[in-house]
Structure 1
Amino acid sequence: MPEPLLTPWTKSRPLPPYKAVLAVDAKDFTGLPAVLHAPVSQMIPELVDQALTKAGLTGVQHDKRFPANTGDGIVFGFDPAHLPFVVWPFLNVLDEVLGRYNALSVGPRIRLRASVHVGPLPDEGRPGDGNATPRNDTHRLLDSRPVKAVLAASSEQTTHLAAILSDRVYEDVVLGGYTALHPDRCIEVPATVEGKPFAQRAWLFIPSPSGSLFRSGVLGLDIPREPQATDPTGSAAGPAEQAGTNYRGNRQEVSDGVAIIGDVTGNISHQNGATHYNATNQHWGSGDNVSGTKNVGAPGEQR
Structure 2
Amino acid sequence: MDTVKFSGNPSAQLPGLSARIPQVLGKAFDRCGLAEIWTEKRFPQAAGDGYVFGVRPEHVPFLVHPLLDELQQVLQEEDARLRSIDRKLRMRLRASIHLGPVPDSGDAGRDRIGTPTNYTFRLLDSQPIKNAMGRTEPDVTLLAAIVSQRLFDDVVAAGYTATHPSQFAEVMAEVPGKDFKHPAWLYIPRNSLWGDPPPGARVEAAPPGSPGAGTVIHGDNIGGSSHRASGHGTVNVVGGNQYG
Q: Which residue of 2 aligns with 1:92?
A: 69
- Counterpart for residue 53 of structure 2: 76
Aligned residues: 200
Greater fraction helix: 2
| 2:67 equivalent to 1:67 | no
Of the candidates 13, 17, 20, which is equivalent to residue 43 of structure 1? 20
- Quote the residue 1:110 is aligned against: 91
Tell me if 1:220 matches 2:217.
yes
Q: What's the counterpart of residue 151 of structure 2? A: 169
**Which residue identity lines up with residue 137 of structure 1 in the other structure?**
Y
Does the alignment pair 1:153 with 2:153? no
Consecutive unaligned residues of structure 1, counting only runs of 5 or more, are: 1-23, 224-303
CA distance in 2, matches of 1:159, 1:219: 18
Aligned-residue CA RMSD (Å): 1.8
Shift in Å at residue 37 of structure 1?
1.6
Stretch deviating more after TM superposition (210-219 or 159-168): 210-219
**Secondary structure, aligned partner of 1:181:** coil
Aligned partner of residue 191 in structure 2, secondary structure? coil
Q: Secondary structure at the match of 1:204?
A: strand
Offset from partner CA, 1:265-293 (integer Å, 9 cap, x none): xxxxxxxxxxxxxxxxxxxxxxxxxxxxx
Give the secondary-structure state (helix, strand or coil) at the position aligned to 2:141.
Answer: coil
Q: Identify if the C-alpha distance between structure 1 residues 118 and 211 changes in structure 2 by more than 3 Å, giving closer, same or farther.
A: closer
Letter of the 1:192 partner, please give it. E
TM-score by length of 1: 0.63
Cα offset, 1:222, TM superposition:
7.0
Tell me, in whole angstroms, the C-alpha distance in 1 between the residues paired with 2:138 and 2:29.
Answer: 23
Q: Work out the CA distance in 1 between the residues paired with 2:216 and 2:73.
A: 21
| Counterpart secondary structure, 1:119 | coil
Q: Larger relative CO (CA 8 A, sep 6+): 1 or 2?
A: 2
In the alignment, residue 90 of structure 2 is paired with which amino acid? Answer: R
TM-score if structure 2 supplies the norm length?
0.78
Q: Which amino acid aligns with 2:66?
A: P
- Does 2:190 align with 1:208? yes
- Displacement of 1:94: 0.3
Query: Residues of 2 paired with 1:211 and 1:194: CA distance?
Result: 22
Question: How far, CA to CA, are the matches of 1:173 and 1:79 in structure 2?
Answer: 14
Counterparts of 1:159 and 1:48 in 2: how far apart (Å)? Answer: 17
After TM superposition, where is structure 1 displaced by more than 6 Å over at least 4 residues in a row?
none
Shift of 1:103: 2.7
Question: 2:76 is matched by which residue type in structure 1?
Answer: G
Between the two proteins, what is the percent identity of the paired residues?
43
Provide the residue aligned with 2:29 in structure 1: 52
Cα shift at 1:35: 1.4
Alpha-carbon distance in 1 for matches of 2:219, 2:37: 40
Q: Identify if the C-alpha distance between structure 1 residues 211 and 124 changes in structure 2 by more than 3 Å, giving closer, same or farther.
A: closer
Deviation digits for residues 63-102 of structure 1 (CA, Å, limit 9, x no counterpart) = 1111111110100111121111110010110011101211
Shift of 1:29: 0.7
Q: Is the 8 A contact 1:213 1:219 kept in 2?
A: no
Q: Which runs of 5 or more structure 2 residues have no equivalent in the other structure?
A: 198-211, 221-244
Paired residue type of 2:39:
H
The answer to whether the aligner puts 1:144 opposite 2:126 as a matched pair is: yes
Q: Residues of 2 paired with 1:113 and 1:201: CA distance? A: 17
Contact 1:174 1:181 in 2 (8 A): yes
C-alpha separation in 2, matches of 1:191 and 1:113: 14
Q: CA deviation at 1:104?
A: 3.5
Bigger strand fraction: 1
Q: SS in structure 1 opposite 2:28?
A: helix
Question: Which one of 93, 96, 110 corresponds to residue 128 of structure 1?
Answer: 110
Q: CA deviation at 1:57?
A: 1.3
